[in-house]
Amino acid sequence: MSESTVKIYDTTLRDGAQAFGVSFSLEDKLRIAEELDDLGVHYLEGGWPGSNPKDIAFFEKVKNMRFKSLKVAAFSSTRRPRMKVEEDPNIQTLLPAEVPVYTVFGKSWDLHVEKALKTTYEENLAMIHDTISYLKRYADEVIYDAEHFFDGYKSNKEYALKTLKVAQEAGANCIVLADTNGGTMWYELEEIIEEVKKHITAPLGIHAHNDSDLAVVNTLVAVRKGIVHVQGTINGIGERCGNANLCSVIPNLVLKMNVEAIPRENLKKLYAVSHLVSELSNKPHNDHLPYVGDNAFAHKGGVHVSAIKADPRTYEHVEPQLVGNTRKISISELSGRSNILEKAREMGIDVDKDSPAVKKVLERVKSLEAQGYHFEGAEASFELLFREMLGEKKKYFDLLGFSVITRRQDDRVYSEATIKVKVPEEVAKKQGYDESFEHTAADGEGPVEALDKALRKALEKFYPSLKEVRLTDYKVRILNEQAGTRATTRVLIESTDGRNRWGTVGVSPNIINASWMALVDSLVYKLYKDEKGGGEK
């Protein structure tokens, strides 16, 4: 495809916010606006001013913001049936927003005219014309979203096209063809766009939903057919199955189709924007998203890793750095020597490829994974294992015993853990203690919390830096459910000291013991990194 230009219209704050469980605060919306401007997006749909106080407040705040590329759009429907546009409250609430762009949607499907609006075909056409021509007096641009256009075209071609012609006559700067139900096939979309272009000379846009898992494909196909305005959301969030994912659309346009969508150098900001929106949405980020997922450039099989080292093009369709992502080498039972060497390099371990330690680590990893261990997401445990094979792992303390009991008293259930540990005598003396033993107890809401608190309490007097460590995530996986209560349990823990994050793992038929193993690795890793003066990010 020869180089062309499209405008990116982001509707994360309006259509994306309709996703189940998503609610952006005013501060969230303003921050996302700043980040999208920095990314190079052309339009941001800020919301529907007449729908809620939060959107009204957003448009008040955004008036004072200065953007490099971004134009803010306010969204609304066409005027209501049998009502003058000057008297329609939805339309009148748009005007105080004082934005450069107004986006209005209208009905293109005869079914909606009859069933939703309960009005005549002619009145619907008048609603479209009146609203666009009226708003043209107050804004630089008016964008018309032809809602349900593709379904409308398939139901009543002549009428659907007539709604577009009326919008064009009224002065719409861009007419957006919306696949609102997300059910249009790409080959249907191609044919319909070709037909639309015979009747409409105004610039055309595309708004695709993902109910058939085709939103990105249909958007790219539309661009190939001459569409110059693309709507979508960050991470594809939106009602039902979501919208076209701009984090896939944009790099595909720029890197694969040679289409100028945002500046190429801005693509490296895409990963950060994607993760920010997930964070502000209070949703876990999808690790398997193309381009911006944490596993988008992850390699697990040994053959793959060996080839990647020779030339990344063997198993990567683009360089991860282009979109701000990074390559990730995983350690698992599928690992080969190349995985081990690459992971060692990442951890700053200088080891020769023919070192016996590499073979020992590989054999040990495969043996442990056969038992249920899982080192993806537990790279701190893997590094400690590697250091142990190299003879570099230091013993910071010995467990002399622990016990955990759970009590129920006055309708409250809680746990208590007692623990006894011993540290090297030189460590105790360094902290001013004659005794290198510590026997203590702590309680918690559950047995793992009680054990965690007791272990820290026992060690913090000898190792004060452990006071910085806290658990940020705790996951339990039952590995052989058919064994019932005797099943093997894998515990993954994520910890932080406020600067760095690291993951550890423990496996045992006893969940307390599995948790203990992961907890110990977490603290040992912290002590090891403090001693070496480094840390995992």
Question: pLDDT-based confidence at 282, cuts 50/70/90?
Answer: confident
Mean pLDDT, the chain, integer = 89
Q: Residue 501: its pLDDT value, please?
A: 87
Q: Residue 52: its pLDDT value, please?
A: 78
Residue 431 pLDDT > 80, yes or no?
Answer: yes
Q: Residue 536: its pLDDT value, please?
A: 42
Residue 334 pLDDT > 70, yes or no?
Answer: no
Structural domain of 405: 397-462
Listed range (55-69, 198-212, 288-302, 334-348) with the worst mean pLDDT: 334-348
Residue 535 pLDDT > 90, yes or no?
Answer: no
Residue 301 pLDDT > 60, yes or no?
Answer: no
Q: What is each CA distance from 510 to 24, 73, 488, 499, in whole angstroms?
A: 41, 57, 7, 32
Q: Residue 346: its pLDDT value, please?
A: 67
- Asked, for residue 475, whether it belongs to a domain, the answer is no
Q: What is each CA distance from 93 to 72, 86, 87, 465, in whole angstroms?
A: 16, 11, 11, 56
Mean pLDDT of 351-372: 74
**Among 281, 298, 322, residue at a domain's last position:** 281
For residue 433, give the CATH number of its domain. Answer: 3.30.160
DSSP letter string, 195-241: HHHTT--S-EEEEEB-TTS-HHHHHHHHHHTT--EEEEBGGG--STT
347 token code pair: 């951890």
Q: Residue 104: its pLDDT value, please?
A: 97
Residue 484 pLDDT > 70, yes or no?
Answer: no
Alpha-carbon Rg for the chain in angstroms: 29
User: Between residues 54 and 41, which one has the greater pLDDT?
Assistant: 41
Question: pLDDT-based confidence at 483, cuts 50/70/90?
Answer: low
**Residue in the block written with tokens 């479209």:** 128
**Among 232, 256, 281, residue at a domain's last position:** 281
Q: Residue 341: its pLDDT value, please?
A: 66
Residue 363 pLDDT > 90, yes or no?
Answer: no
Q: Residue 407: its pLDDT value, please?
A: 87
**Among 231, 265, 281, residue at a domain's last position:** 281
Residue 360 pLDDT > 60, yes or no?
Answer: yes
Does residue 264 share a domain with residue 401? Answer: no
Q: What is each CA distance from 295 to 182, 183, 405, 476, in whole angstroms?
A: 27, 29, 40, 21
- Asked, for residue 17, whether it belongs to a domain, the answer is yes
DSSP letter string, 489-532: EEEEEEEE-SS-EEEEEEEESSHHHHHHHHHHHHHHHHHHHHHH
Q: Residue 149: its pLDDT value, please?
A: 98
Total domain count, the chain: 2
Pairing of strands 71-77, 141-147: unpaired
Please state, in angstroms and rounded to a whole number, the distance separating the CA atoms of residues 379 and 440: 30
Mean pLDDT of 184-206: 98
**3-state class (DSSP) for residue 487:** coil
For the chain, percent of residues with pLDDT exceeding 70: 90
For the chain, percent of residues with pLDDT exceeding 90: 66
Please state, in angstroms and rounded to a whole number, the distance separating the CA atoms of residues 111 and 115: 6
Other beta carbons within 10 angstroms of residue 200's beta carbon come to: 17
Listed range (36-45, 214-223, 340-349) with the worst mean pLDDT: 340-349
Q: Residue 158: its pLDDT value, please?
A: 98
- Asked, for residue 178, whether it belongs to a domain, the answer is yes
Handedness of CA 519, 520, 523, 525 (dihedral sign): negative
DSSP 461: T
Mean pLDDT of 439-445: 93
Does residue 401 share a domain with residue 255? Answer: no
- Asked, for residue 458, whether it belongs to a domain, the answer is yes
Residue 447 pLDDT > 50, yes or no?
Answer: yes
Does residue 96 share a domain with residue 244? Answer: yes
Please state, in angstroms and rounded to a whole number, the distance separating the CA atoms of residues 370 and 400: 29
DSSP letter string, 342-385: HHHHHTT----TT-HHHHHHHHHHHHHHHHT---TT-HHHHHHH
Q: Residue 305: its pLDDT value, please?
A: 60
- Asked, for residue 443, whether it belongs to a domain, the answer is yes
Q: Residue 371: its pLDDT value, please?
A: 78
Residues 6+ apart with CB under 8 A from 19: 237, 238, 239, 242, 281
- Asked, for residue 137, whether it belongs to a domain, the answer is yes
Question: pLDDT-based confidence at 163, cuts 50/70/90?
Answer: very high
Q: What is each CA distance from 334 to 289, 345, 352, 417, in whole angstroms?
A: 22, 19, 21, 38
Q: Residue 1: its pLDDT value, please?
A: 42
Q: Give, rounded to a whole angstrom, the gap between the first and last alpha carbons of the chain.
A: 40
Give the CB-side neighbour count of residue 526, counting CA atoms within 13 A: 26
Q: What is each CA distance from 205 to 152, 154, 247, in whole angstroms?
A: 16, 19, 18
User: Between residues 277 and 299, which one has the greater pLDDT?
Assistant: 277
Q: Residue 34: its pLDDT value, please?
A: 95
- Asked, for residue 325, whether it belongs to a domain, the answer is no
Please state, in angstroms and rounded to a whole number, the distance separating the CA atoms of residues 106 and 127: 8
For residue 46, give the CATH number of its domain. Answer: 3.20.20.70
Give the pLDDT confidence of 5-34 residue by residue, as tens digits.
999 999 999 999 999 989 899 999 999 999
- Asked, for residue 318, whether it belongs to a domain, the answer is no
Question: pLDDT-based confidence at 82, cuts 50/70/90?
Answer: very high
Does residue 413 share a domain with residue 271? Answer: no
Please state, in angstroms and rounded to a whole number, the distance separating the CA atoms of residues 315 and 385: 28
Please state, in angstroms and rounded to a whole number, the distance separating the CA atoms of residues 37 and 301: 39
Cβ atoms of 131 and 143 within 8 Å: the answer is no
Cβ atoms of 333 and 362 within 8 Å: the answer is no
Q: What is each CA distance from 349 to 299, 381, 455, in whole angstroms?
A: 20, 15, 29
Other beta carbons within 10 angstroms of residue 326's beta carbon come to: 12
Beta strands in 96-189 (DSSP E): 101-107, 141-147, 174-179
